[in-house]
Amino acid sequence: MEVHPSQLTPQCVLIDDVFGKTNRPIISKNTVISELHIEVLHYFLINEVRVSPQLANGTPFHPKEKIVNKKKEKKVESKPLIEQYQDIVFLYKKMFSHWQSGSYLRINKVRELIVPLLERIEEFEITIFELYRYSNIEDYFYHHSIATSLLAGLLAKRLGMKKEWKQVGIAAFLAESGMAKINHSIFSKTGLLTEAEFKEIKKHPIYSYRYIEKSSALSKGAKLAILQHHERPDGSGYPLGLKADKIHSFAQIIAICDTYHAMTSERRYREKQSPFLVLEEMERDSYQKFDYHILKKFMKLCTDFPVGTKVELSNQLIGEIVHREPAFPTRPIIQLESGEMIALKEHPVLYIKHVF
C-alpha cells in the first residue's frame, strides 16, 4: 500500500526501504513506524512510502486523510509609498530621541529603517523632488533626514554609482545624527540662533562622524560624506573649512540635496521657497558652494517634467509646459489657459510656483 507520510499512524510496517538523496536508507524496511519516524519522513520531504495493509499488532491499517504541508509564502504587500515614508519619519523621530537620551547609534537598526525605502527609490519618480510638501515645521528635522537620504541616493544612482548609491543614501540619512549631541535648548530653539549657538550647531558633523567612524558597515567615502556634508568648494563651509579638491564627491552630492530640501521646506526660522527659485539660487552659487557638474545633473532631474505638465506661476496664472529649454531647465515655455505663450527665460520676475 502506497501512502503519504501524513497518512501514517504508529504501528504501520514499512515493506520497502525509504531513501532520501543518498544511497543509504533513512528508514529500513520492516521498521514499525512511530511518531518520531513520521516526523523524520516529513523532515526529509518524503512524498510516498510503501507499508503493509496490516499494522504490527495485526489489525487492518486505515490511512488517515492526506495532508500536504505546503510552504506558505509570506505575502508582503507594499504600503503606499508616501505612507511608508511617513512611517519611517515617525520611527526615525523615536530613534533620534533614543540617541538624545544617550543610546548608541546601531548601524544595523539604521539600515533596517532606511534601506527598504531607498530600495523603492525608483517608484517615487518626480515626487521625490516634492517631498518638502509632506514636511511640517514641528517635524521638519526628521523629514529632512529621510528626504535628503532619498534625494542623495537617487542622484548618486543617476551619476552612475551602481554599487555605492545606497552608501550615499545611508550617509545622507546619518549626516545630521550628531544633532542628538547638541544641547536640547539649542536644537529645539524656534528663533534665530546666536553666534555662540550656531558655533555649537556647527559641531554636529563631527558628532555624526564619531557615531560611525568605527563601523565596518559604512565605506570610507560614506564616513567622509557624513563629516564633510557642510563643507563648500570655496572653503566657507564647516567644520574644517575644506576646499573643493579635499571634499569627497559623496559629500558634494549630499550638500546639494540637503540645501535643496532645506530651502524648499517650511522651517521655524525661514519660509519655504519655490523649488525653481531655489535651484536658480543654487546655480548662481554653484562654483563657490557646490560641485557644478553634480548640481547640473540634479537640476535636470528636478525639472524633468513632461510636456503637458500643469503649473501655477508666481502671478497666480495657470498654464502647462509646452517646451523645455535645456539651457534654462527652470524656465520652460508655458502656455497659459488663455492661450498666451510665455517663455519664462524672457520674464525674470516670473517663476513656476507650483506643479500639479
Q: Do 143 and 14 fall into the same domain?
A: no
**CATH number of the domain to which 40 belongs:** 3.90.105.10
Question: Count of domains in the chain?
Answer: 3
Average pLDDT, stretch 166-178?
98
The answer on 228 and 136 residing in a single domain is yes
Decide if 173 contacts 91 (C-beta within 8 A): no
Does residue 254 fall inside a structural domain?
A: yes
Residues 44 and 161 in one domain: no
Average pLDDT over residues 315-327: 93
Residue at 68 is within a domain: no
Q: Within this chain, do residues 21 and 162 fall inside the same structural domain, yes or no?
A: no
Please check whether residue 56 lies inside any domain of the structure. no
Average pLDDT in the chain: 91
92 shares a domain with 189: yes
When computed from its CA atoms, the radius of gyration of the chain, rounded to whole angstroms, is 31
The predicted model gives 24-38 an average pLDDT of: 84
Look up residue 207 and give its three cell numbers. 558628532
Q: Of 302, 326, 346, which marks where a domain is finished? A: 302
**58 occurs within a structural domain:** no
| Number of residues that make up the chain | 356
Cα dist from 54 to 3, 33, 344, whole Å: 13, 12, 92
| pLDDT surpasses 50 at 326 | yes
Same domain, 297 and 322: no
pLDDT of residue 95: 97
Of the listed ranges 25-39, 166-180, 233-247, 304-318, the least confidently predicted one is 25-39
Tell me if 265 is assigned to some domain.
yes
Q: How many CA atoms lie within 13 A of 270 on its CB side?
A: 10
Report the alpha-carbon distance of residue 172 to residue 144 in Å, rounded.
10
Let me know whether 330 and 243 are in one domain: no
Instruction: For residue 3, give the 3-state DSSP assignment.
Output: strand
Same domain, 266 and 320: no
Percent of the chain at pLDDT exceeding 90:
73
Q: What angle do CA 81, 82, 87 make, to 5 degrees?
A: 100
In a domain, residue 279? The reply is yes
Indicate if 46 and 141 belong to the same structural domain. no
Q: What is the CATH number of the domain that holds 277?
A: 1.10.3210.10
Whether the pLDDT of residue 33 is over 50: the answer is yes
- Taking 50 as the threshold, does the pLDDT of residue 253 lie above it? yes
Does residue 298 sit in the same domain as residue 316? no
Do 40 and 161 sit in the same domain of this protein? no
- Angle subtended by helix axes 140-158 and 249-264, to nearest 10: 130
Q: Are residues 211 and 314 in the same domain?
A: no
Round to whole Å and give the CA distance between 10 and 7: 10
Q: Which residues contact 27 (CB under 8 A, 6 or more apart)?
A: 14, 17, 18, 37, 40, 41
The pLDDT-based confidence of 43 (bands split at 50, 70, 90) is low
Is 72 part of any domain? no
pLDDT in tens, 142-170: 999 999 999 999 999 999 999 899 999 99
Q: What is the mean pLDDT of residues 290-311?
A: 93
Least confident of 13-27, 281-295, 338-352: 13-27
**Mean of pLDDT values over 234-249:** 96
Is residue 67 in some structural domain?
A: no
Element housing 50 (H / E)? strand 49-50
- The per-residue DSSP string of 143-205 comes to HHHHHHHHHHHHHHHHTT-TTTHHHHHHHHHHTTGGGGGS-HHHHT--SPPPHHHHHHHTTHH
Give CA–CA dist 349/185, Å, rounded: 40
Domain that holds residue 22: 2-50
